[in-house]
Structure 1
Amino acid sequence: MIKKIEDNLNNFLLKPQFRIYRHLLLLLVSISIAMNVLWDVPDKIILTDNRIFIAVAYLATTLVMIYFNIYILVPRLLIKNKFTQYVLSAIGLVTFSLIAIVLMQEFLYDVPGISREHIIENQVKPNAHLAENDKSGSIVAVLIGVTSSIFGTALLIAGVSTFMLFRYWTINNQRISDLQSATLQSELNFLKSQINPHFLFNMLNNANIMVDEDPETASQILTKLDGMLRYQINDSMRDRVDLEEDILFLTSFLDLEKTRRDHFEYTVSNDGDLSNIQVPPLLFIPFLENAIKHNPDNNNLSYVHLYFESRNNQLTFRCENSKPANPIERKVGGLGLANIKRRLDLLYGNNYSLELNETETTYTVNLQFKV
């Protein structure tokens, strides 16, 4: 029962489909605070034009403060650990609200039972000190109302900020959990589809055939295969790997492919400084494996061209391969394009672009993301 309540509460606080209900709840809380203007006298609601106008204006001011805090201050300052700037900005926001409310109550606030004409009339009578007492009482009432309003608004902003922090923290933890799960599953599926007995058998068989004919080539095959296995078993389990290491792995993969195909060419080129760039492991391999798997033309020349470019903290990856006369329906990396996009979404959010371009003779993948 308690678990169900917690799940329902988390769904209400975090799920996008409940967003409108969260905003309605926030609106109701803001209205309840603004309505205090209408009953600052015990057991009596004052529905004068001035009071209603002040309540509406105060509600609008409160909502502006809250949503400015939600969409500007929290994501740009608080979430980015700029606590000092956030606190100063929040104080400035509350101060602005205080000035606005004081001005509204100064010019529009009316005290029940005491009109402006009554105060002016009493000021010229002998008992003018009574009018002064009434006026002092009204000032005290205004100050109490302003103080309680500002205090309530400050608490509301603090509560909203706490909720936003909790929401960002929960979503980030869920995103990390999903990313780890997707990454592990992707790595597992990739290892199953790439380093499988059939692949190993082909490479080892090629090396065995060349032991007598070309011992040097056989040694190179085994060396590259050893490096690939070490990379996929050990280095691929890290969160980040050097891009140059990943490119070396891709090159070894292409070298091995070339040894078993007579009409196959490839290039690996780059532009910009790639030395200090780190990327998630096994990120480009599904695209390369897809390019090779769906390019089995043994009668005509087939090719794969890889290109990397680093510019202004942006990495561009392009993989272009030829298409055979009778192309095979492609599934990226054996995982499906949807899973590849899912992993990119988890890794980079909205900070990447993936384009797939196909012509009669070529298939090209263009991937860009921030590094």
Structure 2
Amino acid sequence: MKFFRRYIFPALYGLLIYFTIRVLNDIVIDIEFWKRSWALNTLEIGLSILVGYLGIALFKWLFRYFDKKGTVKLSYKGLVRELFIFVMANLVLINLIFTPMAAFTDDGLSWADAVDINLIPTLYAIIYYGITRTNTWLKAYVNNKMQLEKLTNDHLETELKFLKAQYHPHFLFNALNTIYFQMDEDVAGAKKSTELLSSLLRYQLYDQQQQVPIKQELEYLQDYIQLQKIRASQKMRLKVVFDEGLADQQVYPLLLLPLVENAFKYIGGDYRIDISANINEKGMLFKVYNDVPATMKIADNYSGIGHENLKRRLELLYPGKHRLIAGGEAGSYVAQLELEF
């Protein structure tokens, strides 16, 4: 096959151009070219074969030039520019050989000859260009898509790392604030809380792009709740119910904590907090209810760094596979998160 492409195909390409031009021209002037002098026909055929070899060599050189200069761009502008150069180079070659050949044979160069000489080789050159360069353009398209996906993934990974870095100080500030109030009244309890905080921080070292068993995430929440209970009012009525069926299902870590954190932050009124996690048809339903002061204005959506952070992480980690609903009435607030495993 390699031998055919290198040595046979160029000759066939030149002959195809010649016989197409000759047949069209003979139809117009009503002659039969095979009845002409065989010496003349042999000369024209020989020159046509030469055009084939020179043309294919020129095309290959142009392709290497385009690739080396990086002119191949996935845009109509890049394609048109490359094709224009290709066609013009082909026309120069064709007119250098075929135009003098037509001018000094038969009845000289006519308008019909000029049209055929320029049009037919151009059409065949465009077809050759399309067939040959399709693979190159396809590879360029695939590479471009892969690079675009890589850039997108790198961007999302960077954004997730930023969100993680943004979230940790937010959590740490609240936890340290809890221990601070404890120091004046219960030093031993403050030490215990510090150990608990240390355990929580170790868990937060997990890469948030790597999933963990849901059981592990719920145990982390239990530790966090224990830490919050230390500074909570004695009036608080806390109820935590986690479905025992939630065990080895994989989830991304630290997505549930902001909902629980919000409940402890804004608790008031009757001081009731209900936290539950249950399996549903698609995955898990996590729900947090808390009473708020009667004078507090209830927003329809979360606000603040923690909740905006959560929304964005959910969009990145569970695109189209989550639903976060938050809102309430006077005196209470409910947030629920549905995740598909």
Give 1:326-337 correspondences, 5 Å limit.
326-327=295-296, 335-337=305-307
Partner of 2:75: 26
Shift in CA distance, 151/314, structure 1 to aligned 2, threshold 3 Å? farther
Q: Distance in 2 between matches of 1:145 and 1:263?
A: 84
Among 339, 350, 359, the alignment partner of 2:329 is: 359
Superposition TM-score, scaled by structure 1 size: 0.53
**Could you report, residue by residue, the CA deviation over 1:61-81 in whole angstroms, capped at 9, with x for unpaired residues?**
xxxxxxxxxxxxxxxxxxxxx
Structure 1 residue ranges without an equivalent (≥5):
1-23, 46-111, 117-133, 212-217
Shift in CA distance, 31/369, structure 1 to aligned 2, threshold 3 Å? farther
Among 261, 264, 288, the alignment partner of 1:319 is: 288
Contact 2:238/2:273 (<8 A) preserved: yes
Contact 1:33/1:152 (<8 A) preserved: no
Q: Distance in 2 between matches of 1:255 and 1:357?
A: 25
Partner of 1:237: 205
Among 173, 179, 195, the alignment partner of 2:175 is: 195
**Could you report, residue by residue, the CA deviation over 1:196-219 in whole angstroms, capped at 9, with x for unpaired residues?**
1x41144466757xx9xxxxxx7x
Shift in CA distance, 310/39, structure 1 to aligned 2, threshold 3 Å? farther
Shift in CA distance, 155/202, structure 1 to aligned 2, threshold 3 Å? same
Q: Distance in 2 between matches of 1:231 and 1:278?
A: 21
Which amino acid counterpart does residue 294 of structure 2 have in structure 1?
Answer: A
C-alpha root-mean-square deviation of aligned residues, in Å?
A: 4.1
Q: Distance in 2 between matches of 1:173 and 1:231?
A: 30
Give 1:65-80 correspondences, 5 Å limit.
none
Q: Distance in 1 between matches of 2:279 and 2:233?
A: 32
Among 288, 292, 301, the alignment partner of 2:264 is: 292
**Deviation of residue 166 (structure 1)?**
1.0
Contact 1:190/1:333 (<8 A) preserved: no
Shift in CA distance, 200/329, structure 1 to aligned 2, threshold 3 Å? farther
Shift in CA distance, 249/203, structure 1 to aligned 2, threshold 3 Å? farther
**Deviation of residue 191 (structure 1)?**
0.8
The worse-fitting range, judged by mean Cα deviation, of 341-350 and 359-368 is: 341-350
**Deviation of residue 237 (structure 1)?**
0.7
Shift in CA distance, 278/191, structure 1 to aligned 2, threshold 3 Å? farther
Q: Distance in 2 between matches of 1:41 and 1:309?
A: 72
Partner of 2:276: 307
> 2:314 aligned with 1:344, yes or no?
yes
**Deviation of residue 222 (structure 1)?**
7.2
Give 1:211-222 correspondences, 5 Å limit.
none
Percent identity, aligned pairs only, is 18
Structure 2 residue ranges without an equivalent (≥5):
1-72, 95-111
Q: Distance in 1 between matches of 2:201 and 2:306?
A: 22
Q: Distance in 2 between matches of 1:333 and 1:356?
A: 11
Contact 1:309/1:315 (<8 A) preserved: yes
Give 1:70-149 correspondences, 5 Å limit.
113=113, 145-149=126-130
Partner of 2:44: none
Superposition TM-score, scaled by structure 2 size: 0.57
Q: Distance in 2 between matches of 1:285 and 1:237?
A: 15
Contact 1:246/1:281 (<8 A) preserved: yes
Which structure would you say has the larger Rg?
Answer: 2
**Deviation of residue 294 (structure 1)?**
0.9
**Could you report, residue by residue, the CA deviation over 1:202-249 in whole angstroms, capped at 9, with x for unpaired residues?**
4466757xx9xxxxxx7xx976x3663233221111115443233223
Q: Distance in 1 between matches of 2:228 and 2:163?
A: 28
**Deviation of residue 32 (structure 1)?**
4.9
Q: Distance in 2 between matches of 1:334 and 1:115?
A: 73
**Deviation of residue 326 (structure 1)?**
1.7
Contact 1:203/1:256 (<8 A) preserved: no
Q: Distance in 2 between matches of 1:40 and 1:272?
A: 75
Shift in CA distance, 252/338, structure 1 to aligned 2, threshold 3 Å? closer
Aligned residues: 245
